[in-house]
């Protein structure tokens, strides 16, 4: 039996402790060990962004981070985006403007878009597209995703 | 896979681990290449040495009029460093093209170099910039120009117990500028079909007095091309010089056919990009 | 021959009906789960004791499997089951079931790189992967063939020794040609003789993949007495069930398939891949087994989209009337037949009122995974050629490209090559709307090129079943059998709400398992909102009938004295009596305990689907030094009949257009000399990213389909049909030569530019 490593971490404000094999990624652990399945696997090689999460405030593909590397780190996933019953404006706009079709890319895109708007509250269409270039979507053609982000940005600016 | 993971906090400890490894070992910085290769069963390391807890690999500090960049500093941090962005826009161009925002949250220039893909985006501009890599191993420390590190696709000239700790970018003379451009079929997320890094310096009259041109993805390793530099040095980087540069770039290529591009295509586009990148570097140089 | 259900005659479309809900854009009910990550997709299921399944795949594109030794793998601690062909019932090669079981798990031969050969269920992923390495397979490697034209040659390696070509007379030779199919009408030779202008071109397209972001994933759980519980992402739970029943030889009543949310399918999830393997592993291990395919496996071993070779010839008079069309088409189907290639001759010219058409199509096997459907299977890659030839004819006679299409547009009453006569259709109106739209009327920006292309899709009906249940508080549950492919659930809920006169928020739809409903055909063919909508409307009307009966009972009047309007049962006239209208909730509360549930259900082979038409307009720029094409502006004009949920319909237009952009510019399978796919990852299988495309403008034309109560037509497939052709037509305007090969990747475009320059003394 392969040696396991002990990891202590915080996910969405909750403390977790678990054992993992060193080659297991943060994505593997989030989904299979912690059953936080909101973060999705689309490719496991960092090319699609469906597994996007925040680690210590940095936007990453969780399939490109080993779980052992996150000992002592703060992880944020889609499950922590809404505050109780209050949706984040991005989540709300994606609902109103149909920014989500099948929904598989949506968690990754919401995490990425939230980070964009934190850094740049008034992004241009081009800035949004380039920021989200690491998040593949096959259903929407990106149009309503971009519009949802623009609408959420406007609302968050108080517009 | 029975892999051991270690996260030493000093260079000596890291070197000792690598020197003592009985099976294949890999240095883990950002992990955006190593983890993918493990996932796709291309490599099966017995030991992973995570160097991110070693302070020297994680800092960006001014040094001797230039900058020392830790080998494990993530791309996003490099992109957020105002001084680096101003002094070396070409190096930043290369870093900005590695993967996606998510990938750049982890990926480092040390890893980009040591993964030794001929198409790595940060390597041509680092070579054009004249970057020097500081390497630490059990035999001691050595300083090596970056162009001497890649040995072939997936191979470096490092010994098995050596780690690149940091890169030194030299001070910028006045009227100098660098740029990096690559050709990809999509706007983002692709591996470069051709990549060109140009770094040049002008005198007060606008004549090019120094130039370095590095070509990526057109040979087993990134090429530092003297012929391309010679096409620019002593000229005002006019159309004639740019034509000679383009021809030199096409001639210097030793590309292959693969799923990302054909030989002929790479040869043609190398010339096109060399010209465009030199113009972009010229523009930066004229403003400095 | 499908029987027309009474609903289609009695409950026809009423253009004057004032609609309250249909036509708006309420937030879809499944949206909240999708924006919070709560929605459960194929890989999001966990059962107690669940094992991880992993598949061993052939590394050879063509090989005889001489022996498989699983004994060492079985002994590895943590391994609970190992299976191979011996664990699947024997079914003769050459039948549909024989093909199906062999595609799921190889028997005599491995027929493509990635073909499943064995599988393991273990307590962890790392143990399962270790166990795969211990399985010993003895292969006798055979020569392979990938390209269908090569596969047609007399000396090509033969995949199936029993295969004989259907549709030819002299067919006793072993071959890779599955079928030669002819479809003709009128007299093409005479038609060409009348033509003033004839254009004949050859085209080729590479295979591509549907590219859904969610890899196939399933959890199979079985009992000792042979019952099977399967959770999976699928477009066809009932079809999966029936096919599993056939190849595993288990009664359908013992198989329960529960569909998860599906992370994209586009036709690619109409057939199973890991599911039979997970089931057999579970039966052997006596524990649930989860299998999730890796992206590499999805590319190498799930059904991609046919690559093609075509020759298309069309002729027209000086006034623009097309007089004849002819086509010879070759489709690759991968290792087994099943490409739906006959769609192409039926649809490729069908939007133009042609009288003389001659088509010959071939389906050819080769050592690649069996293809699966994409949107409008086998049609967009042929329309890529047709709309280029149409454009060329228009330019030769100096006619505006949309006017040329208008001149030839089919209208109601046109009898198609496949026998249907068009009812009211909206092709002319779509073309006219396109001509007037802002994109077409604005000047082409300097340096750019503009292209247009038209598309058609039959849209389908098919076997559908659903149930509508009314709760004691008057809220309504819909039990649906079709998959929610991006929004059909809310559209169907809207139709139910409209029928019942209640707010759409009082309706909730669930995607049922195969125990809960009668047979539902695949979710495909742009049939879902149409067909499931139809049966739900039928169910709603039956429930309304029951509500009226109950009201009649409450009031003590006869049934025909009660009507239903806006959510209330009312006396039919003042003569009936002075009764207060009763709401659905009131009737339910008053009568459910005594009279039982109020529900309606409907099972139909839905007919009456209305064909859809589209016209795409695209502006492109081309970097003439590198050959890279940039799509600058894109407009989709399409007839939706009636847009039930406007934002959903726009989303379908936009998604299809961008898939077509990827197909047009960069998506293709690369094969090495070794017969292996070289680019089985999203890195090198280049789908459009957000920065690659502009906003996609949409114009919804509404020419109702009167055979549907709300006039709707399916919209899912038309949007991808004309895309590549429109882009190629635009590129042709910029570089002076219209590309004939897909994808239009930069090296190919640069080569065209240079050849054109050389030919014209550049």
CB neighbours of C373 closer than 8 A, spacing ≥ 6?
C266, C267, C268, C270, C303, C340, C524
Is the pLDDT score of C3 beyond 50?
no
* pLDDT for residue C9 is more than 70: no
Residues A111 and A57 in one domain: no
Place of tokens 């002319």: C428
What's the number of domains chain C is made of? 2
Average pLDDT, whole number, for chain C?
95
Is A133 part of a structural domain of the chain? Answer: yes
Q: What is the pLDDT of residue C647?
A: 96
The reply to whether C436 and C468 lie within a common domain is: no
Report whether C635 contacts C439 (CB < 8 A).
yes
pLDDT in tens, B63-116: 999 999 999 999 999 999 999 999 999 999 999 999 999 999 999 999 999 999
Residues A51 and A101 in one domain: no
Facing C659 at nearest CB: one of A102, A107, A138: A138
Same domain, C486 and C561: yes
Is residue B101 less than 8 Å (CB to CB) from chain C? Answer: no
Give the domain range for residue C474.
Answer: 6-39+461-606
Final residue in a domain of this structure, among C556, C573, C606 = C606
Using the beta-carbon criterion (under 8 Å), do C691 and B187 form an inter-chain contact? yes
Query: Which two three-digit tokens encode residue C7?
Result: 């609903």
Element containing residue C275 per DSSP (H, E): helix C275-285
Q: Could you tell me which chains touch chain A, where touching means 3 or more CB pairs under 8 A?
A: B, C
Give the distance from residue A103's alpha carbon to the nearest chain C alpha carbon, in angstroms: 5
Q: Is the pLDDT score of C12 beyond 70?
A: no
A110 vs C28: CB contact, 8 Å cut-off? no
Number of DSSP helices (H) and strands (E) in chain A, helices first? 5, 5
Dihedral sign for Cα C230, C235, C238, C243, please.
Answer: negative
Do C452 and C567 lie in a common domain?
no
Q: Rounded distance, CA A52 to CA A33, Å? A: 17
Scan residues 81-120 of C and list those with Cβ closer than 8 Å to A: none
**What is the distance between the alpha carbons of residues C499 and C565, in angstroms, rounded to a whole number?**
9
The answer to whether residues A93 and A52 belong to one domain is no
Strands C449-457 and C357-365 come out as unpaired
> Which residues from chain A sit within 8 angstroms of residue C219, using beta carbons?
none
C674: three-class secondary structure by DSSP: coil
Distance CA C347, CA C411 (A): 15
Print burial letters for C325-360: b (CB count within 10 Å at least 16), e (below 16).
bbbebbbbbbbbbbbbbbbbbbbbbbbbbbbbbbbb
Bond into C284 cis (ω within 30): no
Residue C279: inside a domain = no
Task: Specify whether C754 is located in the same domain as C641.
Answer: yes
Q: Taking a C-beta distance cutoff of 8 angstroms, is the pair C718, C613 a contact?
A: yes
Going along chain B from its start, the domains and CATH numbers come out as 56-169 (3.30.465.10), 176-287 (3.30.390.50)
Judge if C447 and C480 occupy the same domain.
Answer: no
Interchain contact, C681 vs A43, CB within 8 Å:
yes
C126 chain-B contacts, CB cut-off 8 A? 1
Q: Residue B266: closest CA among chain C residues belongs to which residue?
A: C747
- Calculate how close chain C gets to B256, using CA atoms only, in Å: 14
- Is 0.95 exceeded by the ipTM? yes
Considering just the CA atoms, what is the radius of gyration of chain C in Å? 27
Among C27, C78, C214, whose Cβ lies nearest the Cβ of A42?
Answer: C214
Tell me the whole-structure pTM to 2 decimals: 0.97
The answer to whether residues C583 and C566 touch, using CB atoms and an 8 Å cutoff, is: no
Q: Is the pLDDT confidence value at C4 over 60?
A: no
Q: Is the pLDDT of residue A76 over 50?
A: yes
* Domain count within chain A: 2
Q: What distance in Å separates the CA atoms of residue C28 and residue C644, rounded to the nearest whole number?
A: 12
Write the CATH number for A130. Answer: 1.10.150.120
Whether C728 is covered by a domain: the verdict is yes
My answer on whether A72 and A93 are in the same domain is no
Instruction: Tell me C737's DSSP state.
Output: S
State the pLDDT confidence band at C10, using cuts at 50, 70 and 90: low
pLDDT range class, residue B1, cuts 50, 70, 90: low
> Would you state the pLDDT for residue C8?
47
Over residues C433-449, mean pLDDT: 98
Whether the predicted pLDDT of C460 surpasses 90? no
- The DSSP call for residue A58 is E
Report phi then psi at C679, rounded to 5. Answer: -130, 55
Q: What is the DSSP string of chain B?
A: ---EEE--SSHHHHHHHHHT-SS-EEEESS-TTHHHHHHTTS---SEEEE-TT-GGGS-EEEETTEEEEETT-BHHHHHT-HHHHHH-HHHHHHHHTSS-HHHHTT-BHHHHHHTT-TT-SSHHHHHHHT-EEEEEETTEEEEEEGGGSEEETTEES--TT-EEEEEEEPPPPTTEEEEEEEE-SSSSSPPPSEEEEEEEEE-TTS-EEEEEEEEESSSSS-EE-HHHHHHHTTS---HHHHHHHHHHHHHH-----BTTB-HHHHHHHHHHHHHHHHHHHHHHHHH-
Q: Distance of alpha carbon C751 from its chain centroid, rounded?
A: 34
CB-based contacts of B238, cutoff 8 Å, min separation 6: none
Which CATH number characterizes residue C14's domain?
Answer: 3.30.365.10
Burial of C721-755, coded b for 16+ CB within 10 Å and e otherwise, reads: bbbbbbbbbbbbbbbeebbbbbbbbbbbbbbbbbe
> Does any domain span residue A143?
yes
- What local confidence, expressed as pLDDT, does residue A1 receive? 62
A59 and A99 part of one domain: no
Do C411 and C498 lie in a common domain?
no
Nearest alpha carbon to residue C601 among C516, C521, C528: C516
CA-based nearest residue to B107, from B63, B153, B52: B52
- Which of B30, B105, B188 is the best substitution to test chain A (most A C-beta atoms within 10 A)? B105
Residues in a beta bridge with C618: C451, C634
Beta pairing partners, C453: C616
Give the integer Cα–Cα distance in Å for C264 and A138.
7
CB contact under 8 A, C213 and A136: yes
> A60 and B102: CB-CB below 8 Å?
yes
Can you list the alpha helix ranges (DSSP code H) found in C30-172? 31-36, 71-75, 96-104, 125-134, 148-151
Does B119 contact C at CB distance below 8 Å?
no
C130-186 per-position pLDDT tens digit: 999 999 999 999 999 999 999 999 999 999 999 999 999 988 899 999 999 999 999
> What does the pLDDT read at residue C761?
74
* A109 and A65 share one domain: no
Do residue A121 and residue A94 come from a single domain? yes
C143 inside domain: no
pLDDT(B260) > 90 = no
- Return the residue of B nearest to A23 by Cα: B3
Tokens 């699947």 belong to residue: C88
CA distances from C167 to C171, C174, C308, C363 (A): 8, 14, 19, 11
Q: Region A67-89: what's the mean pLDDT?
A: 97
At which of A37, A61, A79 does a domain end?
Answer: A79
SS (H, E, C) B10-65: CHHHHHHHHHCCCCCEEEECCCCCHHHHHHCCCCCCCEEEECCCCHHHCCEEEECC
The phi and psi torsions of C526 (rounded to 5 degrees) equal 55, 40
User: Bigger pLDDT: C518 or B60?
Assistant: B60
A15 assigned to some structural domain: yes
Alpha helices in C109-232 (DSSP H): 125-134, 148-151, 188-194
DSSP states of C332-350: EEETSS---TTHHHHHSST
Query: If we measure between CA atoms, which residue out of B108, B102, B11, B103 comes closest to residue B51?
Result: B11
Asked if B5's CB is within 8 angstroms of A22's CB, the reply is yes
Q: List the single range of A12-21, A75-84, B252-261, C84-93 with lowest mean pLDDT.
A: B252-261
Query: Among residues C629, C612, C626, which one has the least CA distance to residue C694?
Result: C629
C762 has pLDDT over 70? no
Q: With beta carbons under 8 A apart, name residues in chain A contacting C37.
A: 36-39, 77-79, 106-107
User: What does the pLDDT average to over C695-705?
Assistant: 96
Chain-centroid distance of CA C203 in Å reads 23
Rounded to whole angstroms, what are the CA distances from C415 to B191, C324, C607, C612?
A: 51, 16, 17, 16
Count other Cβ atoms within 10 Å, centred on residue B111: 26
What three-state secondary structure class fits C140?
Answer: strand
Smallest CA–CA distance, residue A96 to chain B, in Å, is 27
Which residue among A28, A58, A79 closes a domain? Answer: A79
Is B35 in Cβ contact with A2 (below 8 Å)? no
Q: Which residues contact C244 (CB under 8 A, 6 or more apart)?
A: C228, C230, C250, C255, C257, C272, C275, C276, C279
Do A75 and A96 sit in the same domain of this protein? no
Based on the fold, state whether residues C668 and C728 are members of the same structural domain: yes
> In this structure, are C642 and C678 located in the same domain?
yes
- Name the nearest CA neighbour of B273 among B230, B236, B218, B221: B218
Q: For residue C637, is it within any domain?
A: yes
Q: In terms of domains, do C634 and C733 share one?
A: yes
A27 is in which domain, residue-wise? 5-79
Largest distance between two CA atoms of chain A: 58
Q: What is the pLDDT of residues A6-39, one digit of tens each?
A: 999 999 999 999 999 999 999 999 999 999 999 9
Q: Do A25 and A71 share a domain, yes or no?
A: yes
Query: What does residue C626 show for φ and ψ, rounded to 5 degrees?
Result: -120, -15
**Residues B185, C628: C-beta atoms closer than 8 Å:** yes
Q: Which of C590, C606, C622 is the last residue of a domain?
A: C606
Task: Report if residue A65 sits inside a domain.
Answer: yes
What are the φ/ψ torsions at residue C671 (nearest 5 degrees)? -115, 140
Is residue C736 situated within a structural domain? yes
Strand partners of residue B194: B183
- Which of C544, C572, C606 terminates a domain? The answer is C606
Instruction: Tell whether A138 is within 8 A of chain C (Cβ).
Output: yes
pLDDT in tens, A102-143: 999 999 999 999 999 999 999 999 999 999 999 999 999 999
Domain identity same for C446 and C508: no
Question: Within a 13 Å sphere around the CA of A158, how many CA atoms are in the beta-carbon half?
Answer: 0
Distance separating alpha carbons of residues A63 and A28, to the nearest angstrom: 8
Q: Which residue is it, tokens 């800035």? A: A127
Comparing CB atoms, the residue among A21, A28, A101 nearest residue C655 is A101
User: What per-residue confidence (pLDDT) applies to C2?
Assistant: 40
d(CA C128, CA C110): 22
Kindly state the DSSP code that residue A33 receives in the 8-state scheme.
Answer: I
**Residue A99 sits in the same domain as residue A36:** no
Are A148 and A94 part of one and the same domain? yes
Write down which residue in A25, A56, A79 finishes a domain.
A79
Q: Do A64 and B100 touch (CB under 8 A)?
A: no
According to DSSP, the β-strands at C308-316 and C197-205 are antiparallel
Consecutive H or E run containing C752? helix C746-759
- Residue C148: name the closest of C121, C176, C111 by CA: C176
C499 within a domain of the structure (yes/no): yes
The pLDDT, as a whole number, for residue C483 is 86
What are B277's two structure tokens? 């990148």
Q: Could you tell me if residue A84 is inside a domain?
A: no
Do C615 and C598 fall into the same domain?
no
Q: Where does residue A55 fall: left (phi above 0), alpha (psi -120 to 50 degrees), or beta otherwise?
A: beta
CATH of the domain at A54: 3.10.20.30
- Of the pLDDT bands very low, low, confident and very high (cuts 50, 70, 90), residue C336 is very high
Share of chain A above pLDDT 70, in %: 99
Reduced to 3 states (helix: H, G, I; strand: E, B; else coil), residue C539 is: helix
Instruction: Look up tokens 């010879």; give the residue.
Output: C328
């Amino acid at each position: 039996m392969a040696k396991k490593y002990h990891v202590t971490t915080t996910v969405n404000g909750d403390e977790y402790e678990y054992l993992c094999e060193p080659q297991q990624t943060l994505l593997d652990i989030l989904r299979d060990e912690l059953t936080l399945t909101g973060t999705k696997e689309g490719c496991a090689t960092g090319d699609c962004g469906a597994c996007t999460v925040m680690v210590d405030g940095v936007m990453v593909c969780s399939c490109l981070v080993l779980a052992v590397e996150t000992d002592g780190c703060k992880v944020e996933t889609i499950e922590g985006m809404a505050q109780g019953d209050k949706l984040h404006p991005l989540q709300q706009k994606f609902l109103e403007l149909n920014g989500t079709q099948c929904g598989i890319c949506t968690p990754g895109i919401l995490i990425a878009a939230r980070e964009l708007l934190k850094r740049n509250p008034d992004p241009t269409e081009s800035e949004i597209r380039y920021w989200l270039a690491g998040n593949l979507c096959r259903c929407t053609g990106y149009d309503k995703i971009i519009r949802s982000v623009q609408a959420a940005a406007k609302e968050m600016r108080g517009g | 896979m029975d892999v051991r993971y270690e996260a030493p906090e000093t260079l000596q400890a890291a070197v000792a681990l690598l020197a003592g490894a009985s099976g294949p070992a890999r240095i883990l910085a950002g992990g955006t290449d190593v983890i993918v290769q493990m996932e796709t069963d291309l490599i099966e390391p017995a030991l992973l040495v995570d160097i991110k807890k070693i302070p020297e690999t994680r800092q960006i500090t001014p040094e001797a009029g230039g900058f020392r960049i830790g080998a494990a500093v993530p791309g996003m941090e490099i992109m957020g460093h105002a001084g680096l962005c101003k002094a070396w826009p070409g190096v930043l161009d290369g870093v900005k093209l590695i993967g996606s925002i998510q990938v750049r949250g982890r990926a480092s220039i040390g890893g980009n170099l040591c993964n030794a893909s001929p198409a790595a985006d940060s390597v041509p501009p680092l070579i054009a910039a004249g970057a020097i890599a500081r390497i630490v191993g059990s035999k001691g420390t050595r300083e090596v120009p970056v162009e001497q590190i890649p040995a072939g696709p997936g191979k470096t000239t490092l010994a098995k117990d050596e780690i690149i700790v940091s890169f030194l970018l030299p001070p910028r003379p006045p009227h100098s500028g660098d740029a990096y451009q690559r050709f990809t079929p999509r706007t983002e997320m692709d591996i470069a079909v051709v990549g060109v890094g140009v770094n040049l310096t002008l005198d007060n009259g606008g004549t090019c007095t120094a130039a370095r041109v590095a070509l990526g993805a057109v040979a087993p390793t990134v090429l530092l091309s003297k012929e391309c530099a010679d096409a620019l040095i002593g000229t005002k980087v006019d159309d004639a010089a740019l034509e000679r540069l383009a021809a030199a770039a096409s001639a210097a290529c030793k590309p292959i056919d693969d799923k990302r591009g054909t030989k002929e295509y790479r040869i043609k586009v190398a010339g096109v990009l060399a010209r465009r990148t030199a113009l972009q570097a010229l523009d930066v140089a004229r403003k400095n | 021959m499908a029987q027309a259900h009474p609903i289609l005659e009695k409950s026809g479309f009423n253009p004057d009906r004032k609609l309250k809900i249909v036509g708006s854009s309420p937030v879809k009910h499944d949206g909240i789960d999708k924006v919070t990550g709560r929605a459960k997709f194929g890989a999001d299921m966990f059962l107690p004791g669940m094992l991880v399944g992993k598949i061993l795949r052939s590394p050879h594109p063509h090989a005889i499997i001489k022996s498989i030794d699983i004994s060492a793998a079985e002994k590895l601690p943590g391994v609970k089951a190992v299976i191979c062909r011996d664990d699947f019932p024997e079914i003769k090669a050459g039948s549909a079931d024989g093909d199906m079981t062999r595609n799921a798990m190889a028997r005599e031969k491995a027929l493509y790189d990635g073909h499943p050969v064995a599988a393991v269920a273990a307590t962890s992923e790392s143990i399962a992967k270790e166990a795969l390495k211990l399985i010993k397979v003895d292969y006798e490697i055979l020569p392979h063939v990938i390209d269908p034209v090569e596969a047609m040659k007399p000396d090509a390696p033969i995949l199936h020794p029993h295969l004989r070509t259907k549709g030819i007379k002299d067919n006793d030779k072993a071959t890779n040609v599955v079928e030669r199919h002819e479809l003709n009408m009128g007299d093409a030779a005479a038609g060409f003789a009348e033509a003033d202008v004839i254009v004949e071109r050859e085209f080729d397209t590479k295979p591509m993949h549907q590219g859904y972001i969610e890899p196939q994933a399933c959890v199979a759980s079985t009992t000792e007495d042979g019952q099977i519980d399967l959770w999976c992402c699928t477009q066809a739970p009932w079809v999966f069930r029936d096919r599993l029943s056939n190849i595993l030889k288990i009664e359908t009543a013992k198989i329960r398939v529960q569909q998860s949310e599906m992370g994209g399918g586009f036709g690619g999830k109409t057939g199973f891949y890991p599911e039979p393997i997970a089931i057999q592993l579970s039966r052997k291990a006596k524990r649930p087994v989860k299998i999730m395919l890796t992206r590499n496996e999805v590319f190498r071993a799930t059904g991609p989209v046919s690559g093609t070779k075509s020759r298309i010839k069309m002729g027209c008079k000086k006034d623009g009337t097309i007089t004849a069309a002819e086509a010879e088409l070759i489709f690759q189907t991968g290792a087994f037949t099943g490409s739906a290639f006959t769609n192409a001759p039926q649809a490729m010219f069908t939007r133009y009122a042609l009288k003389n058409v001659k088509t010959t199509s071939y389906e050819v096997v080769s050592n690649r995974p069996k293809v699966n459907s994409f949107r409008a299977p086998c049609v967009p890659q042929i329309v890529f050629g047709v709309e280029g030839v149409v454009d060329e004819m228009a330019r030769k006679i100096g006619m505006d490209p949309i006017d040329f299409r208008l001149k030839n547009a089919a209208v109601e009453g046109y009898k198609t090559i496949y026998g249907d006569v068009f009812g009211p259709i909206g092709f002319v109106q779509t073309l006219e709307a396109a001509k007037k739209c802002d994109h077409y009327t604005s000047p082409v920006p300097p340096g750019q090129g503009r292209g247009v292309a038209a598309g058609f899709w039959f849209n389908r009906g098919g076997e559908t079943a659903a149930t509508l249940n009314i709760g004691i508080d008057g809220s309504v549950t819909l039990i649906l059998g079709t998959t929610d492919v991006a929004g059909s659930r809310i559209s169907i809920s809207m139709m139910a709400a409209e029928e019942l006169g209640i707010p759409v928020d009082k309706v909730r739809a669930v995607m049922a398992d195969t125990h809960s409903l009668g047979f539902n055909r695949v979710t495909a063919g742009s049939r879902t909102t149409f067909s499931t909508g139809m049966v739900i409307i039928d169910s709603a009307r039956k429930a309304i009938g029951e509500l009226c009966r109950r009201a009649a009972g409450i009031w003590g009047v006869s049934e025909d004295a009660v009507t239903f309007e806006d959510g209330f049962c009312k006396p039919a006239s003042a003569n009936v009596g002075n009764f207060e209208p009763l709401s659905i909730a009131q009737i339910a509360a008053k009568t459910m305990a005594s009279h039982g549930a109020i529900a309606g259900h409907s099972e139909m082979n839905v007919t009456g689907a209305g064909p859809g038409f589209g016209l795409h307009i695209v502006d492109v720029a081309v970097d003439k030094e590198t050959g890279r094409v940039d799509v600058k502006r894109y407009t989709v004009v399409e007839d939706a009949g009636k847009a039930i949920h406007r934002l959903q319909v726009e989303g379908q237009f936009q998604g299809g257009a961008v898939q077509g952009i990827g197909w047009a510019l960069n998506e293709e399978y690369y094969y090495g000399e070794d017969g292996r796919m070289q680019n089985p990852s999203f890195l090198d299988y280049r789908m459009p990213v957000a920065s690659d495309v502009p906003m996609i403008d949409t114009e919804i034309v509404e020419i109702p389909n009167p055979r549907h109560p709300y006039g709707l037509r399916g919209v899912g497939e038309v949007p991808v049909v004309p895309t590549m052709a429109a882009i190629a037509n635009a590129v042709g305007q910029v570089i002076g030569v219209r590309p004939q090969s897909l994808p239009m990747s930069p090296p190919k475009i640069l080569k065209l530019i240079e050849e054109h320059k050389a030919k014209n003394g550049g």
